[in-house]
């Protein structure tokens, strides 16, 4: 079933190339007459995506409106927000949350569903050993039903863009090798046999047929999302102007060049990597909005 997440057009797609996607958070007029980044709308969009991210579409595409208990359970599968009034959003706090990356995974899930038409094959958050312990493996496991492509993605939610790029490169080197991919396929196979994804039996057969490492690499798309702070939101009220678009593209192309330079993976020519860049205005502000909403979800 096709879902539309970004009904309010909060997310702008700026670059859409085979190996590079870039996004911005739109800006809008506020009640006091100023133009501000739609951070609250982005937070609301991500929070509303959590139930599907946790349970995956094959359970119920209308979870948010159908079951209060499932919404609460989905929120508790993220990390625990103990008391929102006691949270101090220092740089150290924001940095500690980046190591979990829960919201980065949710955003990657949303972007793939919204802009690439994928569906989740395995629910990563629901399979955590503990809500406060990150799930092992790739950050998202999606499929393109028509093309029979497996999407194994990584995400980084950092303040500094270059640090985020280096984090993605580290994951690429650590995760794309025969031993790790074989373990991940075994993990995926184990869980596909226990869910009701559309075309389940066909996907079991496809995964079984792709036993050789070379065959598995060929069926993969590897989306790599870097969320980071950027000053474009301070310089432009209208992000759709030629000047703003040019400013954004300059930033994105520099990061793509850095990614390509650092990517010395021996299988580079065999990998279909899609770099996804998502600059935001302020990480601490977004994190604050997200955690306040997550706390409320966990209390209902």
Q: Distance (Å, rounded) from C-alpha 72 to C-alpha 59?
A: 16
Whether the Cβ atoms of residue 23 and residue 5 lie closer than 8 Å to each other: no
Read off the pLDDT of residues 238-277 as tens digits, 9 standing for 90 and up.
999 999 999 999 999 999 999 999 999 999 999 999 999 9
CB 228 within 8 A of CB 279: yes
Could you give the CA distance from residue 58 to residue 39 in angstroms, rounded to a whole number? 30
Q: Is the pLDDT of residue 121 over 60?
A: yes
| Residue 122: band (very low, low, confident or very high) from pLDDT cuts 50, 70, 90 | confident
The pLDDT tens digits for 221-244 are 999 999 999 999 999 999 999 999
Which pair of structure tokens corresponds to residue 293? 């909403």
In angstroms, how far is the first alpha carbon of the chain from the final one? Answer: 28
- Region 204-220 average pLDDT: 91
179: tokens are 């031993």
**What single DSSP character describes residue 212?**
S
Q: Is the pLDDT of residue 137 over 90?
A: no
Nearest-angstrom CA–CA distance, 114 and 233: 23
What is the rounded CA–CA span in Å between residue 35 and residue 91? Answer: 26
What percent of the chain shows pLDDT beyond 90?
56
Of residues 163 and 100, more confidence is placed in 163
pTM for the whole structure: 0.88
pLDDT at 117 over 70: yes
Q: What is the pLDDT of residue 83?
A: 59
Angle at 46 between CA 12 and CA 185, to 5 degrees: 100
In this predicted structure, the answer to whether residue 100 has a pLDDT above a threshold of 80 is no
Residue 215 in tokens: 């065959």
What span, in angstroms and rounded, lies between the C-alpha atoms of 44 and 286? 10
Q: Which residue has 């474009």 as its token pair?
A: 232
Nearest to 24 by CA among 5, 34, 39: 39
Joined together, the tokens standing for residue 252 give 């994105």
- Two tokens, residue 232: 């474009």
Q: What is the DSSP string of 45-108?
A: HHHHHHHHHHH-TTT-TTHHHH-HHHHHHHHHTS-----GGG----HHHHHHHHTT-HHHHHHH
As a three-state string, the secondary structure of 118-143 is CEEEECCHHHCCCCCCCCCCCCEEEE
């Amino acid at each position: 079933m096709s879902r539309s997440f970004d009904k309010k057009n909060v997310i702008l797609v700026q670059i859409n190339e085979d190996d590079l996607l870039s996004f911005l958070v739109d800006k809008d007029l506020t009640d006091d007459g100023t133009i501000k980044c739609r951070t609250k709308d982005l937070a609301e969009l991500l929070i509303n995506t959590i139930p599907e991210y946790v349970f995956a579409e094959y359970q119920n595409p209308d979870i948010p409106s159908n079951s209060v208990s499932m919404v609460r359970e989905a929120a508790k599968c993220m990390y625990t927000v103990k008391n929102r009034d006691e949270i101090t959003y220092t740089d150290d706090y924001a940095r500690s949350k980046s190591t979990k990356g829960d919201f980065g995974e949710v955003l990657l899930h949303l972007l793939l569903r919204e802009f690439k038409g994928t569906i989740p094959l395995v629910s990563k958050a629901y399979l955590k050993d503990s809500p406060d312990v990150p799930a092992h493996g790739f950050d998202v496991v999606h499929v393109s039903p028509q093309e029979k492509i497996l999407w194994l993605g990584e995400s980084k939610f950092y303040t500094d863009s270059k640090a985020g790029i280096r984090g993605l490169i580290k994951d690429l080197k650590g995760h794309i090798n025969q031993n790790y991919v074989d373990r991940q396929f075994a993990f995926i196979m184990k869980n596909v046999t226990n869910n009701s994804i559309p075309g389940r039996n066909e996907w079991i057969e496809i995964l079984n047929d792709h036993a050789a490492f070379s065959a598995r690499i060929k069926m993969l798309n590897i989306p790599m999302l870097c969320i980071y702070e950027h000053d474009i939101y301070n310089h432009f009220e209208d992000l759709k102007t030629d000047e703003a678009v040019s400013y954004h593209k300059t930033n994105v192309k520099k990061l793509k060049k850095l990614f390509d330079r650092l990517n010395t993976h021996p299988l580079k020519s065999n990998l279909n990597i899609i770099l996804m860049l998502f600059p935001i205005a302020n990480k601490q502000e977004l994190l604050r909005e997200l955690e306040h909403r997550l706390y409320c979800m966990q209390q209902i």
